[in-house]
């Protein structure tokens, strides 16, 4: 058996984003995302051929702000299809950075494999001077090909840092080191193609997630509403007309005015599930008996509002019972 035959097989699924963006040569701004093929990015890192056998799948070519639930469902289907192949050892997804954390968390709950799934992207387009995409992609492929990554759930790789899908969040909109985590810490780090994983997720994910055992055609509509000083309840009335659930982005520990409390209690009694979250970056929102004496709301725990919306949408495919949804938020 040749050396190449012994190497891991990695599927790279391209969805677009800045990593596949192009613009004026050398410039980092005024570019269009998802306009070039990721094969061209791979061609700029020939040393990747010494790490893994690569197979490309061009699923989408979009800016990540165009990502939606139907694209997510198509991506889950593609990942599961590729992961079911015995000869495939891992999967890398190239993605725009703006909504990468949401896609990663959705995949973390819905893909059904223990094989490594790694998302990566870039803050600079492929045509920029010192584009960061090639090195991120190089390390993502090396991570997906490493046995240490098996069973870690969906991960993201940026600037030599390994993030969990649940913990990653975009914290900067112009530096190449644009991501951080929600206080839980990174899973590990990389030095070139060497992998150093120091911790593993304890929340349920991938094959351990009940949501990964289902095949979804669509998802219940869950809205996100932000509370601010003086925010009118008309905002809640408007979204309640087409929502099965509402995630409220509150202040502090998931707080909002008495007027909003009254309106949300009314909506909860009309069978709309209400989740309290916070606009504070590293908040933990617990259930509050004093704030919510009738136990009508669910606390988002350590999830960001955007990830809480995703989990609530999946929860609503199974139940509307507050106690069961509350347990899901503690488990996932």
Annotated active-site positions, please?
18
DSSP E strands: which ranges in the chain?
Answer: 8-16, 52-62, 90-94, 117-120, 154-158, 161-164, 168-170, 179-181, 188-191, 194-197, 222-226, 245-250, 273-278, 297-299
DSSP β-bridge partners for residue 169: 180
Could you tell me the CA-to-CA distances from 57 to 15, 106, 111, 281 in Å, in that order?
Answer: 9, 20, 17, 35
Could you tell me the CA-to-CA distances from 248 to 62, 109, 241, 293, 297 in Å, in that order?
Answer: 29, 22, 15, 18, 10
Distance CA 329, CA 292 (A): 17
- Give SS3 for 56: strand
Q: Which of 248, 253, 288 is nearest to 268 (CA)?
A: 248
Task: State the pairing for strand pair 273-278/8-16.
Answer: unpaired
Distance CA 75, CA 69 (A): 10
User: Is residue 23 a contact partner of residue 125, using CB atoms and an 8 Å limit?
Assistant: yes
Cβ-based neighbour number of residue 49 at 10 Å: 12
């Amino acid at each position: 058996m040749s050396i190449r035959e012994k190497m891991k097989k990695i599927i790279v699924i391209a969805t677009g984003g800045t990593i596949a963006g192009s613009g004026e040569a050398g410039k980092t701004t005024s570019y269009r995302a998802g306009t070039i093929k990721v094969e061209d990015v791979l061609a700029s890192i020939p040393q990747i051929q010494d790490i893994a056998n690569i197979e490309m799948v061009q699923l989408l070519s979009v800016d990540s702000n165009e990502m939606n639930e139907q694209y997510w469902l198509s991506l889950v289907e593609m990942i599961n299809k590729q992961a079911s192949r015995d000869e495939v050892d891992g999967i890398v997804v190239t993605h725009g950075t703006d909504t990468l954390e949401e896609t990663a968390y959705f995949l973390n709950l819905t893909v059904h494999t223990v094989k490594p799934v790694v998302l990566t992207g870039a803050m600079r387009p492929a045509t920029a001077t010192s584009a960061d995409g090639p090195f991120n992609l190089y390390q993502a492929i090396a991570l997906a090909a490493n046995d240490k990554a098996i069973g870690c759930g969906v991960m993201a790789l940026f600037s030599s840092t390994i993030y969990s899908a649940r913990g990653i969040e975009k914290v900067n909109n112009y530096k190449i080191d644009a991501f951080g985590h929600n206080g839980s810490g990174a899973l590990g780090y990389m030095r070139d193609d060497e992998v150093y994983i120091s911790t593993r997720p304890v929340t349920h994910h991938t094959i351990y997630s009940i949501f990964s055992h289902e095949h979804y055609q669509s998802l219940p509509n869950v809205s996100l509403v932000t509370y601010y000083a003086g925010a009118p309840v008309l905002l809640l009335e408007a979204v309640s007309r087409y929502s099965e659930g509402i995630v409220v982005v509150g202040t502090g520990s998931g707080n909002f005015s008495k007027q909003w409390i009254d309106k949300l209690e009314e909506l909860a009694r009309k069978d709309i599930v209400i989740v309290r979250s916070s606009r504070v970056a590293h908040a933990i929102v617990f259930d509050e008996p004093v704030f919510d004496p009738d136990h009508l709301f669910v606390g988002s725990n350590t999830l960001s509002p955007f990830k809480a919306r995703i989990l609530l949408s999946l929860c609503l495919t199974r139940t509307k019972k507050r106690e069961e949804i509350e347990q899901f938020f503690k488990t996932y």
